[in-house]
């Protein structure tokens, strides 16, 4: 069964969030906002000059999630679009933003060398998402998911 990048991000965010106290009435908004911010950061980074290299460096481990511009942008998006409206307090906000590198690290671990060629590339991402290397359907879906096209 094929998974989308959004599904994988959501799974990793949910997994990472266990140690942070999130008010029950805000949990879906906060976790959804984290997931959307990470996906938005990947999308904006992929569309920017040099962005594919930044994402490749993240996926291959050349740049850690903690130091990646993808993480920094996701934190900015999350703070601007979600946290500024919730009044959760400085400590909770910091803890929630701190989940982003953990979630991204989880995502990158899923996109390891899947086809045994010794490197992480788009083929490995396709395989990790449940596709095959032969068809363009999943590849188009992957790019559509990143760039919000169908």
pTM of full prediction above 0.75:
yes
pLDDT at 9 over 60: yes
Q: What is the 3-state secondary structure (H, E, C) of the chain?
A: CCCCHHHHHHHHHHHHHHHCCCCHHHHHHHHHHHHHHHHHHHHHHHHCCCHHHHHHHHHHCCCCHHHCHHHHHHHHHHHHHCHHHCCCCHHHHHHHHCHHHHHHHHHHHHCCCCCCCCCCCHHHHHHHCCCCCCCHHHHHHHHHHHHCCC
> What's the pLDDT at 135?
44
Q: What are the tens digits of pLDDT across the range 124-145?
A: 666 666 655 444 444 444 445 5
């Amino acid at each position: 069964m094929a998974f989308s990048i959004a599904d994988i991000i959501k799974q990793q965010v949910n997994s990472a969030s266990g140690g942070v106290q999130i008010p029950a009435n805000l949990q879906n908004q906060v976790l959804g906002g984290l997931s959307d911010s990470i996906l938005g950061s990947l999308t904006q980074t992929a569309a920017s000059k040099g962005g594919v290299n930044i994402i490749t460096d993240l996926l291959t481990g050349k740049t850690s999630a903690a130091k990646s511009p993808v993480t920094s942008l996701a934190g900015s998006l999350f703070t601007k679009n979600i946290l500024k409206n919730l009044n959760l307090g400085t400590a909770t906000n910091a803890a929630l933003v701190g989940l982003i590198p953990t979630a991204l690290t989880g995502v990158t671990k899923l996109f390891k060398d899947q086809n045994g060629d010794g490197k992480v590339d788009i083929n490995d991402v396709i395989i990790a998402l449940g596709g095959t290397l032969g068809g363009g359907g999943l590849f188009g879906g992957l790019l559509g998911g990143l760039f919000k096209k169908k």
